């Protein structure tokens, strides 16, 4: 059994969005090593993102230059779900990028990507009912 976490980081300013990522651990220890799933800007300035996976990172580690701020345990997940997270990540990144092409640069971000994945896992009954509602209450700005 693995554990799925929502992790967020300090924002660069009080008006900036916090960076959100999903992390998988096999322990409930804060110093546990995790595999992080996230999207990162592709660098072209058009509000497009690419999925990124980082392995063997401490659950509460700094992300780039952003200090760790908090986390929420989303639930226990089976190994087959862990194996499918990269596919979920890629699909959610495509959805975020599609929305940004329609709406405008950067209107949809890593938080939306995270919520798409959580909603999908909850709808498939791979996370407990109410997980999405708990995640929606996590801090988003500054």
Q: For residues 2 and 98, give the distance between their C-alpha atoms in angstroms, rounded to a whole number.
A: 31
d(CA 78, CA 137) in angstroms, rounded, equals 25
3-class DSSP state of 134: helix
Residue range 78-104, pLDDT digits in tens? 999 999 999 999 999 999 998 887 776
Q: pTM of the predicted model, to two decimals? A: 0.92
Are residues 11 and 141 in contact, defined by beta-carbon separation less than 8 angstroms? yes
Q: How far apart are CA 5 and CA 73, in angstroms?
A: 5
Pair 121, 88: CB distance under 8 Å: yes
Region 30-42: mean pLDDT is 92
Please measure the distance between the N-terminal and C-terminal CA atoms of the chain and give it in whole angstroms: 34
């Amino acid at each position: 059994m693995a554990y799925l976490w929502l992790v967020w980081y300090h924002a660069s300013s009080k008006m900036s969005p916090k960076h959100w990522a999903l992390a998988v651990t096999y322990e409930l220890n804060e110093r546990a090593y995790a595999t992080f799933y996230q999207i990162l800007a592709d660098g072209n300035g058009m509000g497009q993102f690419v999925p990124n996976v980082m392995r063997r990172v401490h659950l509460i580690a700094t992300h780039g230059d952003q200090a760790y701020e908090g986390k929420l345990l989303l639930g226990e997940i089976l190994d087959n779900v862990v194996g499918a997270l990269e596919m979920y990540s890629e699909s959610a990144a495509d959805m975020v990028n599609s929305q940004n092409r329609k709406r405008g640069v950067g209107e949809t971000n890593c938080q939306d990507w995270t919520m798409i994945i959580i909603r999908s896992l909850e709808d498939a009954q791979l996370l407990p009912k109410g997980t999405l509602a708990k995640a929606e209450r996590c801090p988003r700005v500054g």
